[in-house]
Amino acid sequence: MSNDELLRESVSRLEQALAAERSRRDEAEATLAGLRCITDAGDLAATDAALLEGLQPLLRYQAAAILLRSREDGEVFAATSADHPALLTLRWRSGPLLERVLGGQTVALFDLRRTPELAALAETSDIRSALCVPLSTSTRAALLLGVHDQPAFFTQRQVALAQGFAQTATRVLENLGAREHLHRRQIAEEQAAALARTNAALREQVATIGAQLDTIHAQQAQIQRLRAPVLQVGPQTLVVPVVGELDQEALVEITETLLHAISERRARRVILDLTGFESADAAIADRLRSLARAIALLGARCVLTGLRPALALTLSDSALEVMAFATLADAVAAIRD
| Least spacing, CB of residue 184 vs another protein, in Å | 36
Nearest approach in angstroms of CB 18 to another protein is 6
CB 111 to another protein: min, Å: 5
Question: CA–CA separation, 293 vs 287, rounded Å?
Answer: 10
| Euclidean distance between CA atoms 180 and 284, whole angstroms | 74
Task: Give the interface with another protein as residue ranges (CB under 8 A).
Answer: 1-2, 4-5, 8-9, 11-20, 96-97, 107-116, 118, 151-159
CB environment 157-190: b (16+ within 10 A), e (fewer) = ebbebbbbbbebbbebbeebbeeeeeeeeeeeee
Q: How many other CB atoms are found less than 10 A from the CB of residue 55?
A: 24
Q: How far is the CB of 19 from another protein (least distance, A)?
A: 5
**Minimum separation from the CB atom of position 50 to another protein (A):** 27
* Minimum CB distance to another protein smaller for 144 or for 267: 144
Smallest separation (angstroms) from another protein to the CB of 92? 14
Taking the complex as a whole, how short is the minimal distance between the CB of residue 76 and another protein, in angstroms? 20
Considering beta carbons, is residue 154 or 325 the nearer one to another protein? 154
* Comparison of 100 and 308: residue with beta carbon closer to another protein: 100
